[in-house]
Amino acid sequence: MADTGALAGKRVLVTGGGRGLGREMCVQFAAQGARVAFSYQRDAQAAGATIAACGAVGAPARAFCASVLDPVATEAMVKALEAEWGGLDALVNNAGITQNLPFALMDVEDWDEVMDVNVKGTFLTTKAVLRGMIRQRAGVVLNIGSLAGERGIDAPVHYCTSKAALRGFTESLAKEMGRYGIRVVCLAPGLLEDGVGKKLPEHRLADYLKHCVLGRVGTFDEIARLAAFLLSDEASFVSGATLLADGGL
């Protein structure tokens, strides 16, 4: 493991680290000197690819098959890391889902699934991690929000609602945790090179690019570097804030 870098010695847990932005953040954190663990739900092969990518930068990662909606598995994961590492310095609540559904065709089950994973899953994981952070009187919780929770854009209503909830969660939790030296921050990306951006119809993507000051979608690498900064001591005076990274929409 690298002993230099902005995250040298930090112990970081990322939810949903098996692919996409989650994987990119794991690799970036490892490259900056952190010890990295991540959760995934089903795809062991994808999780193995994340482990290999972290190992390629000199910091093998720990992988846990644990749904963010499974409090027993989540508690076991956190306890295992605290026993092995002595604690956690940072949690990144990255796991999330969406569905491309208009409101009129949305069933209760659709609403519940997105709200459960994106909001309840964040609550359950944060609750499991915060006990240790309170004991050590230090830590960072980084919630991965979205432009869809910050601006009035054409996106599924339940997804927008869930991401807006993360902003409120961030602000209120930051006020409560500040007395323990714990920072809580939200990072809200705009459209990126993969994920939600890839599922958009061509005309909606073209409209986004037309109004975006930089005229392009973002990259996972750009967002992962911002996430690393927010976890680092260089951002020690940042808490309760949402950083919007959308290319200037």
Average pLDDT score over residue span 26-45: 97
Report the first-to-last Cα separation within the chain, whole angstroms: 38
Beta strands, E only, the chain: 11-14, 35-40, 62-65, 90-93, 139-144, 182-189, 242-245
CATH of the domain at 197: 3.40.50.720
The DSSP call for residue 60 is P
Q: What is the pLDDT of residues 219-234, one digit of tens each?
A: 999 999 999 999 999 9
pTM: 0.95
- Cα–Cα dist 242/76, whole Å: 30
Asked whether residue 77 is domain-assigned, the answer is yes
| Active site positions, annotated | 159
In the Cβ-directed half-sphere of 130, how many Cα atoms lie within 13 Å? 20
Asked whether residue 3 is domain-assigned, the answer is no
Q: CA–CA distance from 58 to each of 5, 27, 33, 35, 68 (Å)?
A: 12, 10, 9, 10, 28
Show the tokens assigned to 79.
């306890």
Count of domains observed in the chain: 1
- Cα–Cα dist 112/120, whole Å: 10
Structural domain of residue 114, as residue ranges?
11-244
Average pLDDT score over residue span 57-64: 91
| pLDDT for residue 174 is more than 80 | yes
Asked whether residue 6 is domain-assigned, the answer is no
Query: Residue with structure tokens 């990119």?
Result: 24
Query: Residue with structure tokens 């910091």?
Result: 59
Asked whether residue 4 is domain-assigned, the answer is no
The confidence band for 205, taking pLDDT boundaries of 50, 70 and 90, is confident
Average pLDDT score over residue span 26-43: 97
Asked whether residue 2 is domain-assigned, the answer is no
Q: What is the pLDDT of residues 108-165, one digit of tens each?
A: 999 999 999 999 999 999 999 999 999 999 999 999 999 989 887 778 899 999 999 9
Asked whether residue 86 is domain-assigned, the answer is yes
In 3D space, the residue among 191, 182, 186 whose CA is nearest the CA of residue 155 turns out to be 191
Asked whether residue 190 is domain-assigned, the answer is yes
Average pLDDT score over residue span 23-32: 97
